[in-house]
Amino acid sequence: MQKYLAIINLKTGYVLILCMVITYLCFMFEFSFSLNVTLFSIAVIFPLVFTIREAFRRRDSVIKLLSIFKSSLNATFYCFVNNDKLSSEDKVFISDKLESISMLFFNVLKGKAYDSENVRLVLNEVFEFLEKNRSSISKGTALKIIRFLKDVHESIENTVGLKMHGTPVSLRAYCLVFIYVFPMIFIPTLVHDIGLDAQWIVYALAAVHGFILISLYNVQEAMENPFDQIGLDDIKLEEFHFARERLKAS
């Protein structure tokens, strides 16, 4: 049941009330007109479909970046842990730093302000450790670690960029305004086409059309922030979090 109620919020109530009030006023004042609403329908549906599609594309891009982030951290972890020349303290140090990077990143995705300097400092500590222990780490392994850390940094920056810059705000505002305006155009044409005798049909159709439009908008709005762990389609962030205990268990 929750998945069906997830698209219902206060905006849904506002639109349904607006549809009922406009329908009531049209019958009360016997107001109607004949108008082809196809153009107006396209003006509402096309931007809605566009923003929903872009939100899904953005979500898919984020999932790919998070997969790169996790796999790169895991690969870096194994490069250090499987090196018998490094001490247990060194391996714990690296594990802590990788976990810190993961925590900093996911705290940003969950709503905290992004501080690129903090991420850069932790990455630099890993690079400095790599330089200090070049005698214990082969050249080939060192190059792999550098490439993995580069992928980690790129995935962080790209994901944060996608989080900060969503689908166009002006287009979403346009969609919402048109959803509120559309009943004023659509309902009088319903009254004209159906007549004054079948009022319940007009009320039902007005409510259904309003509900469909605002539900599509609510779906897009829920997809706009796939990190807040509220919506049903949110990204399961914990699946991408680096945890050395989980790696050791596997």
| Per-residue pLDDT tens digits for 190-206 | 999 998 888 999 999 99
Q: What is the pLDDT of residues 100-121, one digit of tens each?
A: 999 999 998 888 888 888 888 9
- Per the prediction, the chain carries an average pLDDT of 89
Is pLDDT of 136 > 80?
A: yes
Instruction: Report DSSP letters for 74-124, one per residue.
Output: HHHHHHHHT-TTS-HHHHHHHHHHHHHHHHHHHHHHTTPPP-HHHHHHHHH
At residue 166, the pLDDT reads 83
Rounded distance, CA 78 to CA 75, Å? Answer: 5
pLDDT of 35-56, one tens digit each? Answer: 888 888 888 888 999 999 999 9
How far is Cα 189 from Cα 182, in angstroms, rounded to an integer? Answer: 11
Who has greater pLDDT, 65 or 42?
65
**What are the boundaries of each domain within the chain?**
2-52+168-224, 60-166+236-249
The pLDDT value recorded for residue 4 is 66
pTM: 0.84
Distant-in-sequence, close-in-space partners of 234: CB < 8 Å, separation ≥ 6: 225, 226, 227, 228
Residue 248 has pLDDT above 60, yes or no: no
Q: Name the pLDDT band for 245 (thresholds 50, 70, 90).
A: low
| Count, residues in the chain | 250
Report the alpha-carbon distance of residue 26 to residue 52 in Å, rounded: 33
Tokens 């922030």 found at: 225
Band of the pLDDT at 249, cuts 50, 70, 90? Answer: very low
Retrieve residue 217's tokens: 């908008």
